[in-house]
Chain A
């Protein structure tokens, strides 16, 4: 027998918790078997080993300070844990589960290792084929036969419920919770999946191909390659997806009339100004599809899976804006548009429907889907998030607020 150490990612031994983002994850290391150790403490070097196209990780010993490629910790031989922090290296996200390994060495001897994934939301247009296919398979499974969990996501966004989420400041927090709930359900099916986003201010031809979100025929029926997981996509009672770009929108180019990222971020440094993005680019992106398309009306939009890629980009823009203006703290007035005159569900202290189970706010009264899906790696935003819980998604203000998602182009520091 030789020395053996246990490495806990997100302070957990659960393999399903072994996912990192750009934000620091709390980790622990402990000596599981002290065989051969004669001193009360042992010096362990922690580092990452990446595969060729795999993710890359970095470390620091404490809750603050700079990250480096490796750290050396003095760990008790008696089995007590020693804390450290680990994060993905910006620009080096994983492309599959376990494509980077965290290793611990005593001298040159490997004494422990765990495979991890730097799981990051990426641009759908440049997703690798395996990443794309894993996402599509998980989505198809979640929507199996138009029943099950996916229909809850439909009902959350249907006509009677839309007021909970739109046309007031809660728009961005509500949709952040909505996407996170969906993403966690997909991850329960395949933990390597992160939601991809559609950059609607850029050309994204690959998204509109029959091997991804499908191409539209002249009747606006979306066509997929034979055997594509979304071939049997069904919402409500009718199978298939209706989506037809307006004549001015050539899907090989950026859609016209949608303001770009720079203009979106320049809407203003106050949330009150920035939330104007609900109209343009958000609403304009929806209406780049014509009158027969699911996407161009709020009540039918979630019937098209492209909806989630569109909204993932809306959330990414908010994240970019939050980063650029330091707007993660709900106590900062400019980080939100707080006003008692806004309807219930749009003020910081309000819980968000439907996760709160409240049925009196909507008509017909219902709260589909239960509480928000939990994550094995992080505790936030909780089962019944409030508006204010959705701002600090990467734990900038309070480490405990970290939600376990990040975007490939939004730096942590």
Chain B
């Protein structure tokens, strides 16, 4: 049983025009097995929340705390956070020229598990995970995210999540840019990991359509750098009908 607790998190970013405050006190707790949907308009700070928890150096935490099972996440380096059990599926996965997917996956898994995976079982493990995400095994020999389509990048993110077995995963608009089939395949991947591992999920999304496949236990409305309303799945239906206007007019 794991627990990610975000308390009164305040984050700013330094721009050419000066310091810009983005997160204005976010409170959120995600436990193993739970799925939290974070829904909000573009520019409200959802990705900033995700990046801040993962430790992106561009974002400065100016107040509040983030803990995973009592350990201070904000004190950890980026890789330590991943080793502690956090995973971020990025909205815009980064291309890494010259580094093959297979080398990347093996290096990451070795770092997270603390030992190199056994050659025999490893190849099978990767193949099976790729097959279930409908990814051609030829992807192993390609460079990380280089020349991948939007959908392929998102599948590759979920592939990593399957292999790295995190405790809590943050999925930042994993649904955006996916056609219906890809959305179903990716969602099934997340559900498979959940049923195998009691994963806690923070599902950041702009639209409700992914919630047909990934049933949230909690829905949070995010606007202007904080959570402005929280409820159960029914809140998503309300958003579907009414949009975010009521939350952004202020």
A and B co-occur in one complex: no
